[in-house]
A and B are shown apart, each in its own frame.
Chain A
Amino acid sequence: MTDAAPPVDPTPAVSFRGVARHYGAVRAVDGVDLDVAPGEFFAMLGPSGSGKTTCLRLIAGFEQPSAGEVSIFGEAVAGVPAYRRPVNTVFQDYALFPHMNVLANVCYGLMVRGMARPERERLGRDALAMVKLAGMDRRRPGQLSGGQRQRVALARALVARPKVLLLDEPLGALDLRLREAMQGELKTLQRSLGISFVLVTHDQGEALSMADRVAVFNQGRILQLASPRDLYERPRTSFVADFVGGSNVIEPAAVNRWMGAARPASLRPEKIKLLAAGAPARDGVVVVAGVVRQVLYLGSVNRVEIACEDGARLVVAAPAALAPPAPGAAVRASFQRDDLHLMEPE
């Protein structure tokens, strides 16, 4: 497995050892091991029902593992209820208290811990300023937009300075532009606070852009735990390559024809070149003939889809500066042997 460097700090912020969570015969989480380093932005990526949200709930304390051990900063938290764990959560639906104003929502965690009103309201206002909502104290959650509610939820979860912040699909309900802006803000916030963020998402773009490391989940297991770059360039299985997206996933049969190895492989679109007819093939280069099926103009590149003669399908990112071939044109695609990344069979 091509993981990123293991965490340097000996006590991880969150660690799972053989953790499982079963509901009757359903194995929502099925033997997960992971370490989240202090100050790390960690993402759990996977389709719905892959076990990522259950893992987050196991850290928060809303669920108890059926087997294995969850520790937070070296302390096993089995049997520790949610309200005694040093973690806070930003919920998918924000879960703001409708009967309290914005400031009361943000100060709630401090209030139940018995902090005096002037002190907690000062900290609450600071937290609101941090998420750029200064002056919104007296509003009710119902009077806020989705993006503002998201910020209140964030301020509320961060005001007591948790050791780990859990984010459950926090950007899912926002529109595209707001989502992109919040990705940048979350990353900046995490850097400046220096606490661990654990993000659950089904959006690979979100995971890759924000996280230091990403765990790809499927069917209750981690398929690969790696840095975004490794995940993209060296996916371990075709499920990972498919889910992370962007790359061509090549069937074992085609790989066998090109390289003599019957394994699935991934090939990045920008590594493939379209050859002019009759250009000579060189050593270490694979050349495949095919027909252009579709051309999409994406601004910086043209996305050219080719149906190869041997049945494989390739997506090529051709520089937009070059004139793209017309659909139906016969072309030859070539790539370096080394750029074909061999993966493990599922």
Chain B
Amino acid sequence: MSPSLVNAPARDGLLRKLSDVLVARRGLTLMLLLTPPALWLGIVYLGALLALLAQSFFSIDEFSGAIVREPSLKSYGELLAPANFDIIVRTFVVASLVTILAALIAFPIAYYAARYAKGRVKALFYLAVMMPLWSSYLVKVYAWKLLLAKEGVVGWAMHAIGAGGLLQAWLDAPLIGGPSLSVSYTGMVLVFLYLWIPFMVLPVQAALERVPATLIEASADLGASPAQTFARVILPLALPGLVAGAIFTFSLTLGDYIVPQIVGPSSFILGQVVYTQQGTAGNIPLAAAFSVVPILIMGLFLTLAKRIGAFDAL
């Protein structure tokens, strides 16, 4: 009889036996593979989240500063105090602006990359989008602070091309203006936009990449103008990507506490409040309650997105 696989001498008897068992019992293999990530998700991730949620129902004793470990809605009540509620609204507006602007800027880039760029140009596109992520976040933010400062490059360039008046008018405007770009909401939004744009471009590009060219031709063939094709075919099919990108830009802005500290006006943004409440103020329950706000906002956002059919094409 010719040497068969079954009779071949096993060099590593034990390993071989183990692989035979794993191949034969797929359930066991799956369990072995999934247990570590399940533990990670369950304990480290969900556990931390639940601990946070639990903390938010505690309150702080105003005289002693000690945490009262009894469930109450006191911390949530504090969120509605005018000073705190202002912060929530301000943060929400900044995050929305960053998200909308990111979508507007990212879409044409992503569309070009998905539909027209080929070969080397496409590689360059990925490089250009990803490269800002390679350098340190802090370096970039401080660089922007200098660029946007009163005597910074942006101001200098605006004056050089004779648009100094325009810049001044912008800075004089209420809310969006300030003494200089680096201490205005405009500057803050610009820096956020710069930081998070790759997180919008990539999912939108991935979504557009999955839209077959024949769908666009079919739409035109059936009599739809380019604007109609965009509204009825391209945009609905890109919506999952836009929503994914918006989740990134929105939640990253909601949680950030470093950018608003370096660039922008002195008024607080949500992340900064969480940072000070759990740090200097030692009010962990209020910090936890503040942290629940982004979770609620994202939950609402996703529900809304599902309502308008953003995930129908998935």
Contacts and interface: CB of A to CB of B under 8 A. Distances in A.
Contact of B217 (A62, A87, A98): A62
14 contacts: A61-B221, A62-B221, A82-B221, A83-B223, A92-B214, A93-B212, A97-B219, A98-B313, A99-B313, A108-B224, A112-B219, A112-B223, A157-B221, A160-B223
A84 B223 CA distance: 6
B237 A82 contact: no
A83 B221 CA distance: 5
A245 interface: no
B225 A83 contact: yes
Contacts, number: 68
Contact of B220 (A82, A96, A98, A156): A82
Given A112-B225, A112-B232, A99 B220 contact: no
Nearest 10 interchain pairs by C-beta: A109-B222, A95-B218, A95-B214, A112-B224, A99-B313, A82-B220, A83-B220, A89-B221, A99-B312, A112-B228
A42 to B, nearest CB: 18
Please classify how large the interface on chain A is, using the bins under 10, 10 to 19, 20 to 34, 35 or more: 20 to 34
Interface in B174-220: 212, 214-215, 217-220
A156 B222 contact: yes
Interface in A75-99: 81-84, 87-89, 91-93, 95-99
B214 A98 contact: no
Interface string B140-167: 0000000000000000000000000000
Nearest to A111: B232
B236 interface: yes
Interface of A: 60-62, 81-84, 87-89, 91-93, 95-99, 108-109, 112-113, 156-157, 160
A294 B218 CA distance: 49
B237 to A, nearest CB: 6
Nearest to A112: B224
Contacts of B309: 99
Given A98-B237, A112-B232, A91 B217 contact: yes
Contacts of B226: 83
B214 A93 contact: yes
A99 B237 contact: yes
Given A97-B233, A98-B313, A99-B237, A109 B215 contact: no
A91 B214 contact: yes
B222 A91 contact: no
A113 B223 CA distance: 7
Contacts of A81: 220
Contacts of A62: 217, 220-221
Contacts of B223: 83-84, 109, 112-113, 160
A157 B232 CA distance: 17
B215 A108 contact: no
A45 B120 CA distance: 37
